[in-house]
């Protein structure tokens, strides 16, 4: 059994739902693990992670529209408004999605489903450089 | 330290909240791990996982009713409607629940609480055969 | 590679969003792991876990207010009311947040972001003693 860890840097656009499957898969494949578990962790409170359908861009737009309706940017609803009207909704959207994802690995490959991609959700209205910590535990091939 | 991985197949009824605790516990117990961590992963984007109260069937009905009110099957709300009115709501319900669950194991047994069960949530309006990947990391007994 | 597991006991106030970062970090640091993954698991169905902003108490109040609006304590909405009007909302709030969190560890320290804390969310209207299972997998320093 082995463990490997790395930190990636991801640049986001405002409110972007950004697919990061390729970057994550490339690092994972280089570790040459026959059977393992990859864990992604995002050390931020206004951006989050999600496994979601990656074939249709309309799915991402509908998910974004749903989250905006559910968590409106209306300062009358929140007390924590000093970092802008998008900040408290960003914390809530992060709470409703994931800070961490674990995905099985077999023969160096992520066991994602046919329609699954890994996404980083930027919940702020401005671009950010986000960190992502990957930890891979498993048997070497 | 050891790692074991398997793939289960679960048949679901339309919109079923199906308890899968027994199947998952049986495989886990056969691995004879003294201290470990089991991770369940569902490689689908319109079905998801949840640990939830398993004593009262009314809890499941109330959870289902809540999710239907929160994410209505109303095609006017979504652009991604070509796979049916239940498809985009299924993706959103999956995003709000879990693609992955990790549960501690002690003396070959899942450390679930007294009232906890593991559930697979079928969010589509038709029956499906769903895959589930189990990865168990730990010390052999 | 090593695995360590422990069970903590956390006393909560009614509907408390309680920061537990210090207790979790202390146990983790004592295990002297150079590279690892810590998994927190809560064996309850009416309390849950979340990584969230820990600098401003207003963020916690806004998160609590959002969850109360989203999941009202209105017995007309639920069938499962025999354990009190706060019980079914507690199960739903648990479903929308986390039963489990995995956080990377480097040089014995949790890789939390600058503004991140670990929180236990008590969703019931009465105080409880809650259990928390910690599992740490990694290489010894």
Distance from CA of A37 to the nearest CA of B (A): 7
Contact C71/C89 with Cβ under 8 angstroms?
yes
| Per-residue pLDDT at C141 exceeds 90 | no
From chain B, which residues contact A within 8 Å (Cβ)?
A: 1-5, 39, 41-46, 70-71, 77-80, 88, 91-92, 94-96, 99-100, 102, 131, 133, 135, 137
Mutate to test the interface with C, among B34, B53, B118 (most CBs of C within 10 A): B53
Distance of alpha carbon B71 from alpha carbon B39, whole angstroms: 28
Considering only the beta carbons, identify the residue of B36, B98, B115 that sits closest to C3: B36
pLDDT at C98: 98
pLDDT, residue B16, reads: 97
Specify the 3-state DSSP secondary structure of B100.
Answer: strand
Mean pLDDT, rounded, for B46-62: 96
Contact B102/C137, CB-based, under 8 Å? no
Which of C4, C80, C95 is nearest residue B50 as measured by Cβ atoms? C95
What average pLDDT score do residues B14-34 get? 98
| Interval B106-123: pLDDT, tens | 999 999 999 999 999 999
List the single residue in B53, B56, B104 with the smallest CB-CB distance to C5: B104
Considering only A113-117, B82-86, C11-15, which range has the smallest mean pLDDT?
Answer: B82-86
Spell out which chain C residues touch chain B, with contact meaning CB-CB distance below 8 angstroms.
1-5, 39, 41-46, 70-71, 77-80, 88, 91-92, 94-96, 99-100, 102, 131, 133, 135, 137
Per-residue pLDDT, averaged over A62-80, amounts to 97
- pLDDT for residue C87 is more than 90: yes
Enter the DSSP assignment of A98: B
Confidence band of A34 (pLDDT split at 50, 70, 90): very high
Element (H, E) at A92: helix A87-96
For residue C56, CA distances in Å to A87, B61, C53 come to: 12, 37, 7
Asked if C116 and A44 come within 8 Å (Cβ–Cβ), the reply is yes
Q: Residue B102: its chain A contacts at CB < 8 A?
A: 102
Let me know the angle formed at the C-alpha of C120 by C116 and C124, rounded to the nearest 5 degrees. Answer: 145
pLDDT of residue C56: 92
Q: What's the whole-number mean pLDDT along residues B38-47? A: 98
Q: How far is B138 from chain A (nearest CA, A)?
A: 10
What pLDDT, in 10s, does the model give residues C29-85? 999 999 999 999 999 999 999 999 999 999 999 999 999 999 999 999 999 999 999
3-state class (DSSP) for residue A136? strand
ipTM tops the 0.90 cut: yes
Which residue in chain C is spatially nearest to B49 when comparing CA positions?
Answer: C95
Closest CA to A42 of A136, A123, A132: A132
What's the rounded Cα separation, in Å, for the pair A5 and C104?
Answer: 8
CB distance A88 to A99 below 8 Å: no
Angle in degrees, CA B63, C100, C71, rounded to 5: 30
Start-to-end Cα distance in chain A: 10
What is d(CA A125, CA A86) in angstroms, rounded to the nearest whole number? 6
State the average pLDDT for chain A. Answer: 97
Q: Inter-chain contact A104–B3, Cβ cutoff 8 Å?
A: no
pLDDT value, residue A50: 98
Question: Do C59 and A88 make contact, defined as CB atoms within 8 angstroms?
Answer: yes
Residue A92 Cα to chain centre, angstroms = 15
Q: Is the pLDDT of residue A7 over 90?
A: yes
Q: Do B1 and C5 touch (CB under 8 A)?
A: no
User: What pLDDT is stored for residue B78 in this prediction?
Assistant: 97
Query: Cβ–Cβ of C39/B102 closer than 8 Å?
Result: yes
Looking at residue B141, its pLDDT comes to 85
Alpha-helical runs (H) found in C31-86: 57-70
Tokens of A126: 């401005």
Residue A80 has which token pair?
Answer: 């924590």
Backbone angles phi, psi at B49, to 5 degrees: -120, 155
User: Do the chains contact at A45 and C116, CB–CB below 8 Å?
Assistant: yes
CA dihedral B53, B58, B61, B63 (to 10 degrees): -40
Residue A141 has pLDDT above 90, yes or no: no
To the nearest whole number, what is the mean pLDDT of chain B?
97
Kind of pairing, strands C2-12 and C128-140?
antiparallel
pTM of the model: 0.98
Residue range C93-126, pLDDT digits in tens: 999 999 999 999 999 999 999 999 999 999 999 9
CB-nearest to A102 from B3, B45, B102 is B102
Closest-CA residue of A relative to B100 is: A102
The pLDDT assigned to A128 comes to: 98
């Amino acid at each position: 059994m082995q463990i490997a860890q790395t930190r990636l840097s991801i640049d986001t656009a405002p409110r972007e739902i950004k697919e990061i499957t390729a970057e994550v898969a490339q690092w994972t494949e280089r570790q040459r693990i026959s059977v393992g578990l990859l864990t992604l962790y995002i050390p931020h409170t206004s951006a989050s992670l999600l496994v979601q359908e990656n074939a249709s861009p309309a799915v991402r737009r509908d998910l974004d529209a749903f989250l905006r309706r559910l968590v409106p940017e209306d300062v009358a609803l929140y007390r924590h408004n000093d970092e802008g009207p998008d900040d408290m909704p960003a914390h809530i959207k992060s709470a409703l999605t994931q800070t961490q994802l674990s995905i099985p690995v077999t023969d160096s490959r992520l066991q994602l489903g046919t329609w699954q991609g890994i996404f980083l959700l930027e919940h702020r209205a401005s671009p950010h450089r986000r960190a992502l910590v990957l930890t891979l535990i498993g048997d070497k091939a």
